[in-house]
């Protein structure tokens, strides 16, 4: 099997290499003679547990890779292997057949071991602390961009390695857009303030959303907030090994549907998370896999009323042997920023 995803290679070797457009391939062989094909440009520790095959930009690196592959059997490739590498390898008849084999690594990555759980916990702890700092940025007349910009520095001050995705800050009706990019919209009295943020710590990600209100909240927005919170809590309360992802999604969705906002909940309930913000395995109606201890994913119901208000409340959860540990401890009670 060829593994090309940098996060899979990080998971298996402990080395994070971002190759850009260059070839990076970890070749796993049944006989245990694993090899990593890596450009001379990238420095890695002396011993990473596999043989290194080095090449330069001017080498015919695909022929080098092909010469190491067993041509007589099926080759697994991961879903991220670029067509610009795979198609020439197929032309060179590097293998007898090719299969998508991402699940081999993705299924292992889905369940975090004790060490990974510790890091995930720490990343969310920093995110909880950061949210308290971010609220302080909400001041009269401030724009979304002005709130989003200092966030990376704040994360670093709190011990994170940076953010896990660009911060999402949305005021008022902008919060009703699915994925709004912070712009020069100024804050107004009565606006909702949606903050969807995450940091990276020792290679692992956090992700959390809170929605606040500035100075006042309309009775309609308050109703919407209450429904989203109820959906969030109902979903978290049922998390237990053996429960299906699709049933968690349905539980939250039913709360929102019954309240009359089914159409305004426009996305899946959550996604798996770890080395990447979005990992294989989502909390949606189409994923009927059972959850297992060690899995980490988000629970993020939302209601988006076009032109008016958007509310999303997101926590990360860790499935335990006896239920679930919510990794975020920041309050979810409706909060009006004075
Ligand atoms: Mn998320």
Q: What total of structural domains would you count in the chain?
A: 2
Which helix (H) or strand (E) segment is 216 a member of?
none
pLDDT value, residue 179: 80
pLDDT value, residue 67: 96
How far away, in angstroms, is 197 Cα from ligand 1 center? Answer: 8
In order along its 338 residues, the chain shows pLDDT tens digits of 999 999 999 999 999 999 999 999 999 998 889 999 999 999 988 888 899 999 999 999 999 999 999 999 999 999 989 999 999 999 999 999 999 999 999 999 999 999 999 999 999 999 999 999 999 999 999 999 999 999 999 999 999 999 999 999 999 999 999 789 999 999 999 999 999 999 999 999 999 999 999 999 999 999 999 999 999 999 999 999 999 999 999 999 999 999 999 999 999 999 999 999 999 999 999 999 999 999 999 999 999 999 999 999 999 999 999 999 999 999 999 999 99
Q: What is the CATH number of the domain that holds 241?
A: 3.90.230.10
Between CA 21 and CA 27, with CA 23 as vertex, the angle to 5 degrees is 150
Q: Which tokens sit at 132?
A: 């308290």
Give yes or no: residues 191 and 73 share one domain.
Answer: no
DSSP bridge partners of 54:
38
Q: Give the strands of the sheet with 270-272, arranged side by side.
A: 279-283, 270-272, 296-299, 315-320, 323-326
Give yes or no: residues 211 and 282 share one domain.
Answer: yes
Q: What is the CATH number of the domain that holds 29?
A: 3.40.350.10
Give yes or no: residues 215 and 297 share one domain.
Answer: yes
Give yes or no: residues 53 and 133 share one domain.
Answer: no
How far away, in angstroms, is 108 Cα from ligand 1 center? Answer: 21
Give yes or no: residues 201 and 259 share one domain.
Answer: yes
How far away, in angstroms, is 208 Cα from ligand 1 center? Answer: 6
Give yes or no: residues 60 and 142 share one domain.
Answer: no
pLDDT digits (tens, 9 = 90+) for 107-157: 999 999 999 999 999 999 999 999 999 999 999 999 999 999 999 999 999
Give yes or no: residues 71 and 149 share one domain.
Answer: no
Burial of 31-58, coded b for 16+ CB within 10 Å and e otherwise, reads eeebbbbbbeeeeeeeebebeebebeee
Sole residue written with tokens 């909240």: 217
How far away, in angstroms, is 54 Cα from ligand 1 center? Answer: 38
DSSP bridge partners of 98:
75
How far away, in angstroms, is 187 Cα from ligand 1 center? Answer: 24
Q: Which tokens sit at 71?
A: 């041509």
Give yes or no: residues 116 and 102 share one domain.
Answer: no
Q: How far is 227 from 105, CA to CA, in rounded Å? A: 38
pLDDT digits (tens, 9 = 90+) for 270-296: 999 999 999 999 999 999 999 999 999
Which of 109, 134, 157 is the last residue before a domain boundary? 109
Q: Determine the structural domain holding residue 91 and report its residue range.
A: 2-109
pLDDT value, residue 178: 74
Distance between first and last Cα of the chain: 57
Between CA 216 and CA 221, with CA 217 as vertex, the angle to 5 degrees is 165
Q: Which tokens sit at 48?
A: 């990473």
Q: How far is 338 from 327, CA to CA, in rounded Å? A: 28
Which of 109, 132, 163 is the last residue before a domain boundary? 109
Q: Which tokens sit at 84?
A: 């610009």
Give yes or no: residues 100 and 122 share one domain.
Answer: no
How far away, in angstroms, is 202 Cα from ligand 1 center? Answer: 19
Give yes or no: residues 307 and 169 share one domain.
Answer: yes
Angle between helix 219-237 and 245-258 (nearest 10): 150
Give yes or no: residues 9 and 155 share one domain.
Answer: no
How far away, in angstroms, is 128 Cα from ligand 1 center? Answer: 14
Which of 87, 109, 131 is the last residue before a domain boundary? 109
CA distances from 310 to 29, 175, 182, 330 (A): 50, 4, 14, 19
Nearest to 103 by CA among 8, 27, 17, 29: 8
Give yes or no: residues 204 and 233 share one domain.
Answer: yes
């Amino acid at each position: 099997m060829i593994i090309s995803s940098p996060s899979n290679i990080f998971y298996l070797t402990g080395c994070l290499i971002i190759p850009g457009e260059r070839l990076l391939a970890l070749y796993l062989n049944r006989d245990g003679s694993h090899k990593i094909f890596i450009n001379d440009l990238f420095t890695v520790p002396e011993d990473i547990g596999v043989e290194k095959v080095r090449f330069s930009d001017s080498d015919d690196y695909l022929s080098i890779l092909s010469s190491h592959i067993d041509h007589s059997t099926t080759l697994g490739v991961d879903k991220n292997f670029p067509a610009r590498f795979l198609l020439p390898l197929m032309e060179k008849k590097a293998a007898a057949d090719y299969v998508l084999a991402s699940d081999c690594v993705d299924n292992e990555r889905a369940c975090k071991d004790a060490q990974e759980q510790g890091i995930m916990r720490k990343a969310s702890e920093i995110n909880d602390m950061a949210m308290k700092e971010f609220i302080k940025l909400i001041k009269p007349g401030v724009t979304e961009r002005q709130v989003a910009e200092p966030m990376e520095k704040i994360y670093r001050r709190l011990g994170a390695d940076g953010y896990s995705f660009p911060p999402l800050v949305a005021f008022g009706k902008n919060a009703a857009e699915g994925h709004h990019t912070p712009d020069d919209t100024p804050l107004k009295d009565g606006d909702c303030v949606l903050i969807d943020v995450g940091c990276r710590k020792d290679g692992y990600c956090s992700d959390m959303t809170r929605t606040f209100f500035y100075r006042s909240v309309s009775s309609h927005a308050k109703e919407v907030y209450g429904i989203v919170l109820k959906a969030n809590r109902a979903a978290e309360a049922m998390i237990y090994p053996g429960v299906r992802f699709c049933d968690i999604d349905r539980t939250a969705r039913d709360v929102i549907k019954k309240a009359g906002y089914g159409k305004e909940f426009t996305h899946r309930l959550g996604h798996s998370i770890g080395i990447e913000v979005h990992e294989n395995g989502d909390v949606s109606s189409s994923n009927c896999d059972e959850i297992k201890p060690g899995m980490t994913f988000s629970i993020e119901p939302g209601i988006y009323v076009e032109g008016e208000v958007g509310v999303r409340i997101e926590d990360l959860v860790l499935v335990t042997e006896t239920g679930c540990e919510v990794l975020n401890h920041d309050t979810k009670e409706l909060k009006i920023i004075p």
